[in-house]
C-alpha cells in the first residue's frame, strides 16, 4: 500500500481517486445494467436510510483518524524542530569551549547526526531507534560528562551541555515514538469495508449517468481522503515526508563535518 507514496504527490492522489472511482462506480454500471428488474420504492427507502447511517459513521471515522494523523504529524514536526535546535545549541557550546576536548565533542556530535540521518529516517528503521544512533549518543554523552572544567565559564558550559544532552535524548525518544506510529490495519479494514458497503447500497438505483457521476464524486473524495491519511501516517516518505535538510545544514555549517547522505 505504501508503494503509492513513492510516486509524485499529484500522481499518487490521482491514482488513489481513480482506484476509488473504479471500485465504486464500475459495479453500479455493470451490475445494474444486468439487473433488469427495478427495485421497489420500499427497498430504496430502506437502502437510503441504512446508507445514510453507515455513511455518517464512516465519515466520522475518517474525520477522527485524519485529525489524529494530522495531530501526530504536527507533534512530530515540533519534536524534530526541538531536536535540531538542541543539536544547534550543543554545537554552539562546543565552539565556545576553549579546550582540546572540543574536537572530540564535535566529532561525537557529527556522528550522532549522521547516524540519525542514515539509520532513523526510512521506512525500515526500527521503532525504538538504531544501534548506531544510540551508540553515537552514548559516546557524546560520555564525552560531555568527562569534561574537566578549569574555569567558571567552562563549568557553566559543561552544565548547559549536560542539560542539552538530556534534552536531546528526550527529543529523540519523542521523535521515534511518533515517526513509526502508523495506523492499525483494523482502521484500513474498517475504512475499506465501510466504503464498499456504501457503494453497494447504490445498486438499488438505476445506472443512469447522473447516478454514476454522483457515486464517482463520492469515490474520488474518499480515495483522496484515504491517500492523505496514508501519507500523514508515513512521514519518512511521500508527499508528507518531513524534510531532513536541517540535519545536514547543521553538519555543514554548525558542526562542519563531512556531508552525510540519508538512507532513502
Question: Average model confidence (pLDDT) for the chain?
Answer: 87
Mean pLDDT, range 125-135, rounded to an integer: 84
Q: What is the pTM of this model?
A: 0.83
Closest by CA position to 205, among listed 66, 68, 35: 35
Placement of cell 433488469 in the chain: 36
Q: Report the phi/psi class of residue 242: left, alpha or beta, with left for phi > 0 and alpha for psi in -120 to 50.
A: beta
The Cα–Cα gap between 255 and 127 comes to 27
Return the half-sphere exposure (C-beta side, CA atoms, 13 A cut-off) of residue 133: 22
Q: Give percent of the chain above pLDDT 90.
A: 53
Cα three-residue angle 31-221-76, rounded to 5 degrees: 135
**Joined grid coordinates for residue 259:** 556531508
The predicted-structure confidence for 19-69, as pLDDT tens digits, reads as follows 999 998 888 888 877 766 666 788 788 888 998 999 999 999 999 999 999
| Alpha-carbon dihedral 123, 127, 133, 138, rounded to 10 degrees | 180
**pLDDT grade for 2, boundaries at 50, 70 and 90:** confident
Q: Map out the domains of the chain as residue ranges.
A: 2-254
> Is 70 exceeded by the pLDDT of residue 234?
yes
Contact 251, 37 (CB under 8 A): no
**DSSP tag of 252:** I
The helix/strand/coil state of 181 is: coil
Contact 236, 122 (CB under 8 A): yes
Q: Is 116 exposed, middle or buried (0-12, 13-18, 19+ CB in 10 A)?
A: buried
Amino acid at each position: 500500500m505504501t508503494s503509492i507514496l513513492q510516486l509524485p504527490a499529484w500522481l499518487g492522489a490521482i491514482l488513489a481517486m481513480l482506484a476509488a472511482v473504479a471500485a465504486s462506480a464500475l459495479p453500479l454500471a455493470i451490475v445494474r445494467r444486468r439487473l433488469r428488474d427495478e427495485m421497489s420504492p420500499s427497498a430504496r427507502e430502506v437502502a437510503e436510510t441504512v446508507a445514510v447511517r453507515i455513511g455518517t459513521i464512516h465519515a466520522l471515522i475518517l474525520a477522527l483518524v485524519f485529525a489524529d494523523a494530522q495531530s501526530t504529524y504536527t507533534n512530530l514536526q515540533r519534536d524534530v524542530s526541538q531536536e535540531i535546535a538542541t543539536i544547534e545549541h550543543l554545537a554552539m557550546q562546543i565552539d565556545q569551549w576553549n579546550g582540546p576536548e572540543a574536537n572530540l565533542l564535535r566529532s561525537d556530535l557529527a556522528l550522532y547526526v549522521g547516524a540519525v540521518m542514515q539509520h532513523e529516517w526510512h521506512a525500515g528503521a526500527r521503532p525504538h531507534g538504531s544501534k548506531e544512533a544510540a551508540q553515537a549518543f552514548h559516546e557524546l554523552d560520555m564525552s560531555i560528562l568527562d569534561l574537566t572544567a578549569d574555569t567558571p565559564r567552562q563549568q557553566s558550559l559543561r552544565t548547559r551541555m549536560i542539560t542539552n544532552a538530556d534534552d536531546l535524548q528526550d527529543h529523540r525518544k519523542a521523535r521515534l515514538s511518533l515517526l513509526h506510529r502508523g495506523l492499525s490495519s483494523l482502521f484500513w479494514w474498517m475504512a475499506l469495508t465501510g466504503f464498499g458497503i456504501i457503494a453497494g447500497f447504490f445498486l438499488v438505483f438505476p445506472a443512469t449517468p447522473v447516478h454514476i457521476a454522483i457515486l464517482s464524486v463520492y469515490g474520488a473524495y474518499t480515495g483522496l481522503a484515504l491517500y492523505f491519511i496514508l501519507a500523514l501516517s508515513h512521514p519518512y516518505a511521500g508527499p508528507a515526508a518531513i524534510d531532513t535538510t536541517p540535519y545536514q545544514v547543521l553538519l555543514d555549517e554548525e558542526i562542519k563535518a563531512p556531508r552525510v547522505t540519508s538512507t532513502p
